[in-house]
Amino acid sequence: MTHQISRRTLLHRATQLGALGAAGAYWLPSLAQEIATNQQRKRQCIVLWMTGGPSQLDTFDPKPGHANGGEFSAMETSVPGVQICEHLPKIAQLAKHLAVVRSLSTKEGDHERGAHLVRTGQILGGPLQYPDVGALLSKQLGEETSELPNYVSIGSPVEIAPSAFGPGFLGPLYAPATVSVLNAAGESAAAGGNAAGENNNPAFVELGLDFLRPPGGLDNPSFRRRMEIWNRLQTGFLENRPSDNAVAQNTAYQKAIRLMRSKASSAFSLSEEPTKVRESYGRGRFGQGCLLARRLIEREVPFVEVALGAFGGEDPGWDTHLNNFPAVERLCGQLDSGWSQLMIDLESRGLLETTTILWIGEFGRTPGINDNAGRDHFPGAWSCAFAGGGIQGGQVYGKTSEDGMEVVDGKLDVGRILATLCVALGVDPASENHTPIGRPIALVDAEPVAELLRGV
């Protein structure tokens, strides 16, 4: 039987919950289970990870007319009454797809601890290594027999918080396939350089999985001999030590080897795209990452993450303690081109309705501007945004004070954001995984936000 849940029904149940009090609190888990059993709701996910923590006031929660508002103006979007930063004009025209959350409030203002909390829903510390959101959701949505990886991470800054970017106790079978920049010229373009390309434009960043391009190619005799030796050693090891972790690692390696030799690996060949298409996304790492995400979604990869900001060297990402405004203007330009074109292309292909997008970083930034024209870490009141499948777009949820210092309406923690993402994807947040010692752990121990969800 197919279950259809309309927004009217959803809000009616929410009203009932308020009227019934604690006795009605069981409706949200029931709703999640009902949606999760509806096969039409099985979706794909893209997380746009904003490395370093983006300023909410300079993106999705502008404060025009207040001293904390800074140098940028607010602009109207295609949704009446909803304003965002002037440097996101293309996204502003697609606001009907967006559900902007302006009322996130957390307590972790350190990069590692903040990233760990947002990505796992757990506070950093203790002996148990928790899976990140990509591992959790790709396990729920993916197929072990698929040729392509179920979880692809494009440019994610693992060095910030290694424990926040990986499969944790789920094991290596659920680790992401990591995509990196393959060309030095493109790396310069990604960092805002001007390496010459066609028509004197900056060169396109070229992205790919390193293991798909072994030195000398797949037919290199040396490579074939190394693979034969590895297979013999691996077979002997598994015969003597057939542990779950060893089997999972072997499965992951064998899948990578199959992908090397498969036509499916062409998904990573951005050169197949017309130049005009590549241009429309932006030539840098994030824009080309969004294009790659579209190609992977077309090929039914369940979870893709694209990071904006390298957080290292000359590129601090969104960690704008110094000279916030020129840095954010540059980052917004990349975000605007990449994210907008991604939604346009997904919609034109009929895929936006089955793809849920979450834009988020590890925390926000201070409303007050420091002596270095920058904004510092601020987890007390910040923003994220949803779009696409399962999401009721064209709205703003929550509110911060006029100075941006505190949440005054609709305060949410990270758990509720992750639970909302799960339900939008047709996944029950209460679904459990088991640790190596058999302890059951729910995906997310929190309730979704009903107002952000849309029935199908």
DSSP string, 206-263: -EE-GGGS-TT-TT-HHHHHHHHHHHHHHHHHHHH---HHHHHHHHHHHHHHHHHTSG
Query: How many CB atoms within 10 Å of residue 371?
Result: 5
In tens digits, what is the pLDDT along the chain, a chain of 456 residues? 333 334 334 433 443 333 333 333 333 444 444 544 455 546 999 999 999 999 999 999 999 999 999 999 999 999 999 999 999 999 999 999 999 999 999 999 999 999 999 999 999 999 999 999 999 999 999 998 888 999 999 999 888 888 899 999 999 889 999 998 988 655 555 554 433 444 557 789 999 886 666 666 656 777 667 767 777 787 777 777 777 667 666 666 666 666 666 677 899 999 999 999 999 999 999 999 999 999 999 999 999 999 999 765 567 899 999 999 999 999 999 999 999 999 999 999 999 999 999 999 999 999 999 999 999 999 999 999 999 999 999 999 999 999 999 999 999 999 999 999 999 999 999 999 999 999 999 999 999 999 999 974
Alpha helices, H only, 109-192: 111-120, 133-141, 184-190
Taking CA 143 as the corner, what is the angle to CA 138 and CA 146, rounded to the nearest 5 degrees? 110
pTM: 0.84
Strands 382-388 and 355-361: antiparallel
Taking CA 327 as the corner, what is the angle to CA 321 and CA 331, rounded to the nearest 5 degrees? 125
**Who contacts 239 (Cβ-Cβ below 8 Å, separation ≥6)?**
none
pLDDT of residue 109: 97
